[in-house]
Amino acid sequence: MEIISDPKKLKEYRKRLKGSVGFVPTMGALHAGHLSLIKRSVAENDHTIVSVFVNPTQFLEGEDLEKYPRKMEADKKLCELAGVEILFAPSEKEIYPDKDEVLISAPKIKGYVLEGYHRPGHFDGVLRVVLKLLNITSPDKAYFGKKDAQQLYLITKMAKELFLDTKIVPCELVREESGLAMSSRNAYLSPKERNKALLLSQALKRASNMITAGERESEKIKEKMREVLKEIKIDYVEIVDRDFNEIEKIEIGNTIILVAGYVGSTRLIDNIWI
Ligand code: AMP
C-alpha cells in the first residue's frame, strides 16, 4: 500500500492508474462502519483510495477538533488488510495552503436545517473538503455512509449541481450488536454512557415498530421517540423525505427518521431509512 500526503503526487499516481478507481474519504479512527465502505470499494473497483484527514473546517468553534481520535498506525494496518491501494493522509497545510481561498457554500436551506442548524457552517466545511478530495483523487465512485444522511444528501446534490464525474454511492449504516451506530466518537463514551447511547437506536427501533404496526403520523412517532429519549439532551428528532423536507406523514420508501443528541458531552447522531 502506498501512503501519500502530497496532493500533487496523488494526482500524478492517479493519472497512471488504468481501470476503475473507488474512493472512501474518512476522518480516520477507522471502525467496522468505515471498513464496510472500504470493502465495497475494493470489491467494485480496480483500485481503491482511502483518505484520512481530520478536516478542521467542518468543526465549529468549541467542538472536538483537538480531541478527535487519531489512530494513524491502526488505520494504516486496517487499510492494508482490506486491500486499499493508496492511503491519502495529507496535512492541514497541504489541503488548505492559503487562508484566503475560493470557497464553496452549502445550500442556504438544506445546508442549514437539522445538522446544519445545530452546527451552522459545518456543511460548508464538509463540501469544501470533499470537493477538494474528489478533485485530487478523480474517482469513478466515491462511497459515503447513510449514517451521515444529510451529508450524503448534500454531497450527492453537490456532485449533481457542479457536474462532477464521480458517482456518489450510498452505503448502509453499520451498527454494533447492541444497536449503537458505529462512530469514531463512540470512543469518548464511558461504559455507563455507552448504555445511555443505546436510547438513540432504541428510539428509532420504536419508530420502525410503530410504522410496521401501521402508524403514519410523523408527530405521533416523534412524540413516542422523545419519550424513549427523555434521559438524553436532544438536539432534534425529525422525520423528512429523502430530499430533507419535513413530512407530516410517513412515505414508505421515501422517509428518513433522524435523531441527534448529547450523551454526557458527546454528540451522537443516528437515523433509519424507511
Ligand atoms: P467519518 O470518518 O466519520 O467522517 O466517516 C467517513 C465515512 O464513513 C462517511 O461517509 C460516514 O458516513 C461513513 N460512516 C461512519 N460511520 C458509519 C457507520 N456506522 N456505518 C456506515 N458508514 C459510516
Going from the Cα of 7 to the center of ligand 1, the distance in angstroms, rounded, reads: 22
182: Cβ below 6 Å to ligand 1? yes
From atom 8 of ligand 1, which residue's Cα is the shortest distance away? 34
From atom 5 of ligand 1, which residue's Cα is the shortest distance away? 26
pLDDT of the residue at 48: 99
34: Cβ below 6 Å to ligand 1? yes
pLDDT of the residue at 153: 98
Task: Tell me how far apart the alpha carbons of residues 42 and 22 are, in angstroms, rounded to a whole number.
Answer: 7
Distance of CA 197 to the CA centre of its chain: 18
pLDDT of the residue at 216: 98
pLDDT of the residue at 66: 97
pLDDT of the residue at 134: 99
Strands (E), the chain: 2-4, 21-26, 47-52, 86-88, 141-145, 167-171, 233-241, 255-263, 266-273
pLDDT of the residue at 115: 98
User: Mean pLDDT for each consecutive 10-residue tract of the chain (274 residues)?
Assistant: 98 98 98 98 99 98 97 98 98 97 98 98 98 98 98 98 98 98 97 98 98 98 98 97 98 98 97 98
**CA of 151, closest atom in ligand 1:** 12
**CA of 144, closest atom in ligand 1:** 10
**CA of 34, closest atom in ligand 1:** 8
pLDDT of the residue at 53: 98
171: Cβ below 6 Å to ligand 1? yes
pLDDT of the residue at 256: 98
Tell me whether residue 34 is one of the annotated catalytic residues.
yes
Residues 28-65 as b/e (b if ≥16 CB within 10 A, e otherwise) read bbbbebbbbbbbbbbeebebbbbbbbbbebbbeeeeee
From atom 13 of ligand 1, which residue's Cα is the shortest distance away? 145
222: Cβ below 6 Å to ligand 1? no
